[in-house]
A and B are shown apart, each in its own frame.
Chain A
Amino acid sequence: MTAELGHFALVLALGLACVQGTLPLLGAPRNRTRWMALARPAAAGQCLFVTLGFGALVHAFVSNDFSLAYVAANSNSHLALHYRIGAVWGGHEGSILLWIQILALWSVAVARFSRGLPDALVARVLGVMGLISVGFLCFLLFTSNPFDRLLPAPPDGRDLNPLLQDLGMMIHPPVLYMGYVGFSVAFAFAIAALLGGQLDAAWARWTRPWTLLAWALLTLGICLGSAWAYYELGWGGWWFWDAVENASFMPWLVGAALIHSLAVTEKRDSFKSWTALLAILAFSLSLLGTFLVRSGVLSSVHAFASDPRRGLYILLFLAVVIGAALALYAWRAPTVGLGKRFALFSRESLLMLNNLLLAVAAGTVLLGTLYPLALDALGLGKISVGPPYFDAVFVPLTMPLLLLAAVGPVSAWKRASVRGVLQRLARPAAAALVFVVTAGVTLVISWRAALGLALAAWLLLGTGADLLRRLWHQPKGTGWWARLGPVPLSYWGMVAAHAGLGVFAIGVTLVNSLETSNELGLRVGESAKLGDYRFAFTELKRIDGSNYLAARGRFDVTRGEERVATLYPERRIYVVQQMPMTEAAIDRGLWRDLYVSLGEATQDGRWLVRVQDKPFMGWIWAGALLIAAGGVLAAGDRRYRAAVRSRKAQAPARSDAELAVAQLASFGAQAPTID
């Protein structure tokens, strides 16, 4: 019964989404206040009904209602409660519903925090988001209904894929989707601006916090997924250039370009049409990513044939959304104008290079991901493009990015002085060089690794030096705590994100060049050596889990006489699906991770053991977290809130003249922030 109510709630949500996606959009150009005013209540109502539908599905999982085909395929009565909740988005149908739920939440957030914006803009933004929601709700209701009944109902479910029975995997999809779907806000703002013909600095200021937040969440989501692969897949890899990973990485790259380009549009009223294009592309790639992962195209392009409705719908939906957005862009963008000019060497030109590099990087990932699919679909042969391709193209693209990331923030807008920038960066450069030579001599690394380290050190030192300079150059007698006051949050965000990039680069470089591993067959009582470490296999125990059986090994790790750690890797068999699982054990540390995994056993009691020493592994996650924190910090900057509030104060009587004055004032307010 609850399931039918949930289904019905989703149908009602579709009705409200239709209202939200049509009347406000039609009302905006005709200046129909009442039509436009429908946008907010429609978004709120839609969110309410989607939440009811989502709640009904959660209820079905929690109460083990195996008469629902989707629940029966993805859950089991022996599954722990928190995994049953996580299983709601463990399959296709639930993932799409989660997507819709998050879109509804973003819509409500936009409706709530846009009080100060012009009514027509809000109507258009929410209208576009409503249309996206219509597309997804139709997809869910007509091709992937999670509430389909299964008659007769099976006594128990087929269980959640054991790989997904993990806390990281429970929160990874929602966070990732919050990022993906968050780009729909930037997309909707871009479409609204193109429709209304108002693509200016104020538009960029409204879009920026949303985009920053979405991008930070996407960063966090990718990081969670990668960390999951690291400890759960069992063999210590953390990034495979797998199509599923690439699907989330492409919007991240374009999103990174977008937040930099938005900065130029906000501060200098430049790059306007490019920024709008990036906003459209970022969301298009998010859509593409969702569908690549969710449509089954990846497991086979011919999966379309098994459910032609789904595949066809996806292709049509992608074509309509991306096609319509790009057509609108081609039609309206030429009227936007080029914006303010800038010199050959200026912060604008550096950010342009940043955008170029990030866009090319996204393009290379797109090519490597779609080319094999395209060949296969056209029947031209089966090929695969693996990590060697991505490594070959990515390293040369990342190096200039690291180099420029330290230069950009110390260069002035409009026209920067080469000598001034050189002066500011000379000391960090020298320090980075000294540091790397020392590190190179002590760690004995290849020239490539040394170059990576040098660039990372350069970025960290350059960013740190600029931060110190900012804190230093303030009126004499200012206390240290008071000195932090005038430094805006958006600047802290930049510092955190760039420093995070440096930390991340150090981690990647050192893990890739210094990691060691050893694989061998061990009996209980024997031990493995890896560098200075000795891994003694001292014990093997049988463990009965709630829905699995496991063999648990005990490894005492020593270094000389010193005891380092005791690790308990497991080899599990999940009972329902008869699937083996390698549950690795990791001793994490600031300078290195020790990683032990237990493979299959031979007849004579030898276990395949893989031991790994991964130096600086934790720096990869720390860097990614810093990058995400940077996005959040920047999104919280005071001036975004101030921008909305000042609009609100003028809201009651808004004549054209007042608007013009307000815009002048906002330009004036912006001037002092320019270096």
Chain B
Amino acid sequence: MRARHQRLVLLATGLVALAISVWLVLSALKKNMVFFFTPTQVVAGEAPSQQRFRLGGLVEGGSVQRQGDGVTVSFTVTDLAQRLPVRYRGALPDLFKEGKGVVVQGRLLSDQVFVADEVLAKHDENYMPPEAAYALKKASADGKTAGLPR
């Protein structure tokens, strides 16, 4: 009887620990999810003004400018329908290029400038992050642009 009792205690402890960890995990997940928006959505005011989110599209050709300090950089992200200026402090990833896809993470300032704290370098050999491709496709599917650039 004693042994069985102990097993029960073990089992109960295990289940409680499991329940607590599941709860912790789910709440952490909910709190730390980062949503993705396209420039069109941001301009239309669909993006949250307080929360961090991701923005994706193309780096507009000729828009990349380093400030005098050599560290701050600004560029424009477009889905060919709408455009949004982005500001970032720091080094850009090696795969960052004008006219190519990009995904940035950060917040929206009140004057419709996106301040990025992260510029993402992950993408395939065609310099197109999936999110950026999605933004372009969405804008073109909505009939707002002439089509995808080749």
B123 CB within 8 Å of chain A: yes
B75 CB within 8 Å of chain A: no
With contacts A382-B134, A385-B32, A389-B32 known, is A608 near B10, CB below 8 A? no
Question: Chain B 43-87, CB within 8 Å of chain A: the 1/0 string?
Answer: 000000000001000000000001001110000000000000000
Once bound together, how far apart are the Cα atoms of A344 and B7, in whole Å? 7
For window 86-142 of B, CB contacts with A under 8 Å fall at 89-92, 94-95, 105, 121-125, 130-131, 133-134
Once bound together, how far apart are the Cα atoms of A392 and B94, in whole Å? 29
Once bound together, how far apart are the Cα atoms of A349 and B17, in whole Å? 14
**Are B36 and A397 interface neighbours, CB within 8 A?**
no
Once bound together, how far apart are the Cα atoms of A546 and B13, in whole Å? 62
Question: Chain A 229-245, CB within 8 Å of chain B: the 1/0 string?
Answer: 00001110000001000
A615 CB within 8 Å of chain B: no
**Are A383 and B35 interface neighbours, CB within 8 A?**
yes
**Are B34 and A602 interface neighbours, CB within 8 A?**
no
B-binding segment of A517-525, A633-641, A654-662: A517-525
**Are A392 and B31 interface neighbours, CB within 8 A?**
yes
**Are A161 and B92 interface neighbours, CB within 8 A?**
no
- A interface secondary structure, majority: mixed
For window 514-537 of A, CB contacts with B under 8 Å fall at 519-522
With contacts A341-B3, A344-B6, A582-B94 known, is A606 near B29, CB below 8 A? no
**Are A344 and B9 interface neighbours, CB within 8 A?**
yes
**Are A519 and B54 interface neighbours, CB within 8 A?**
no
Q: Which of B3, B17, B35, B133 is the one whose CB lies under 8 Å from A381?
A: B35
Kindly provide the distance from the CB of B140 to the nearest chain A CB, expressed in whole angstroms.
15
**Are B133 and A234 interface neighbours, CB within 8 A?**
no
With contacts A352-B10, A356-B18, A522-B70 known, is A385 near B131, CB below 8 A? no
Q: Which of A302, A360, A367, A600 is the one whose CB lies under 8 Å from B29?
A: A367
A157 CB within 8 Å of chain B: no
Kindly provide the distance from the CB of B75 to the nearest chain A CB, expressed in whole angstroms.
13
Kindly provide the distance from the CB of A245 to the nearest chain B CB, expressed in whole angstroms.
12
Which residues of A are found within 8 Å of B66, using beta-carbon distances? 521, 600, 602, 606, 608
**Are A349 and B10 interface neighbours, CB within 8 A?**
yes
B14 CB within 8 Å of chain A: yes
Once bound together, how far apart are the Cα atoms of A607 and B69, in whole Å? 10
Looking across the interface, which residue of chain A has its beta carbon closest to that of B17? A356
**Are A608 and B71 interface neighbours, CB within 8 A?**
yes
Which residues of B are found within 8 Å of A363, using beta-carbon distances? 25
Question: Chain B 16-29, CB within 8 Å of chain A: the 1/0 string?
Answer: 01100100110011
Once bound together, how far apart are the Cα atoms of A579 and B100, in whole Å? 13
Count of interface residues, chain B, beta-carbon cutoff 8 Å? 40
Once bound together, how far apart are the Cα atoms of A597 and B92, in whole Å? 12
Once bound together, how far apart are the Cα atoms of A385 and B36, in whole Å? 11
**Are A385 and B94 interface neighbours, CB within 8 A?**
no
**Are A392 and B32 interface neighbours, CB within 8 A?**
yes
Which residues of B are found within 8 Å of A302, using beta-carbon distances? 130
Once bound together, how far apart are the Cα atoms of A606 and B25, in whole Å? 45
Which residues of A are found within 8 Å of B36, using beta-carbon distances? 381-384
Looking across the interface, which residue of chain B has its beta carbon closest to that of A518? B71
A55 CB within 8 Å of chain B: no
Kindly provide the distance from the CB of A180 to the nearest chain B CB, expressed in whole angstroms.
22
With contacts A368-B29, A383-B33 known, is A581 near B94, CB below 8 A? yes
**Are B89 and A519 interface neighbours, CB within 8 A?**
yes
A343 CB within 8 Å of chain B: yes
Which residues of B are found within 8 Å of A519, using beta-carbon distances? 71, 89-91
**Are A299 and B123 interface neighbours, CB within 8 A?**
yes
Q: Which of B3, B34, B123 is the one whose CB lies under 8 Å from A384?
A: B34
Most buried by A among B70, B95, B121, B131: B70
Chain B residues proximal to chain A, CB less than 8 Å: 3, 6-7, 9-10, 14, 17-18, 21, 24-25, 28-29, 31-36, 54, 66, 69-71, 89-92, 94-95, 105, 121-125, 130-131, 133-134
Q: Nearest 10 pairs between A and B by C-beta?
A: A521-B70, A300-B130, A389-B32, A606-B70, A382-B36, A599-B91, A392-B28, A388-B32, A344-B6, A602-B66
Additional pairs, 13, CB under 8 Å, beyond known A382-B54, A385-B33: A302-B130, A364-B21, A386-B34, A392-B28, A392-B32, A393-B25, A519-B91, A520-B69, A521-B71, A599-B91, A600-B92, A606-B70, A608-B71
24 A-B pairs whose Cβ atoms sit less than 8 Å apart in the complex: A296-B124, A341-B3, A341-B7, A352-B14, A360-B25, A367-B25, A368-B29, A371-B29, A382-B54, A382-B131, A384-B33, A384-B36, A385-B34, A389-B32, A389-B33, A393-B24, A520-B70, A521-B69, A597-B91, A599-B91, A606-B66, A607-B70, A608-B91, A610-B90
Chain A residues proximal to chain B, CB less than 8 Å: 161, 163, 233-235, 242, 296, 299-300, 302, 341, 343-344, 349, 352, 356, 360, 363-364, 367-368, 371, 381-386, 388-389, 392-393, 396-397, 519-522, 579-582, 597, 599-600, 602, 606-608, 610
